[in-house]
Chains A and B, each alone.
Chain A
Amino acid sequence: MSTVDLQIDVRTDGEWRVLDVRGEVDLYTSPQLREAIDREVSGGTPKVLVDLTGVSFMDSSGLGVLVGSLKRSRERGGELALVCTEGSVLKVLTITGLDRVFPIHASVTDALGT
């Protein structure tokens, strides 16, 4: 069975809603991520920042959630950005070309300062 749950904490920082995601994102846990992001996007928050610093693994299930959320966010005139610094998550974003699709920041501070 899945051994690592996904933990998502949400806070407001200025005009941004920041989702601090920790754990592993796969087919089993990605619905939890989708629900959390969609709650913010559909709730009228124009700017959503997903902090993936604490994510140790993400597969295409998670990528699908991020891409779908980005699409829905843009349809509503919003923004969706990521914080991702290194490791396997940045690698999967890079090899799929999604590092050119998402605004990716090195830290939450950097993202909020832009």
Chain B
Amino acid sequence: MSDGRKERALSLAVPADAAFVGTVRLFASAVGRHIAADDDLVDDLKLALAEAVTEPIEAGVVGMIDVVAFLDAVPRFEVRSDAWDEDRPSGDGQFPRHGELVRALFADTEIVTVDGARLLRFSLGSRALP
């Protein structure tokens, strides 16, 4: 984790490996404490970022996954991985799709593909911070 003061961002890069999903949750907790989020919001951040990194892992993406927290007035988050064919079902396909769950937590969630990279983004929006 680095504290890029100039760009006001915290970032984490992990291999696309299930063993590192727990590391992403630790990162989410640290960022949540850094922005003085309450316990409920920290729990939501942990779930959202875990879902965001789980999806590319299940899809078979290789390489690294970048998780970035931009510490703007309204903090926002971005998870970047290599893109994949999203028509191909990931996981066991039972329930639910990860992006939908993230969107249920953070309504402005968007998923875009740019230059072969897949980005899932959301912000804290109207979620209150002290």
- The interface of chain A, by Cβ under 8 A from chain B, is 1-4, 24, 26-28, 57, 59-61, 63-64, 67-68, 87-88, 91-92, 95-96, 98
B19 at the interface (CB under 8 A from A): yes
Bound: A3/B105 CA distance, A:
25
Bound: A87/B43 CA distance, A:
9
How many interface residues does B have (CB within 8 Å)?
Answer: 25
Q: Which residue in B18, B26, B57 is a CB contact (below 8 Å) of A3?
A: B26
- The interface of chain B, by Cβ under 8 A from chain A, is 18-23, 25-26, 43, 46-47, 50-51, 54, 57-58, 91-92, 94-96, 98, 101, 104-105
CB A63 to nearest CB in B, in angstroms, measures 6
Bound: A61/B90 CA distance, A:
11
CB A55 to nearest CB in B, in angstroms, measures 13
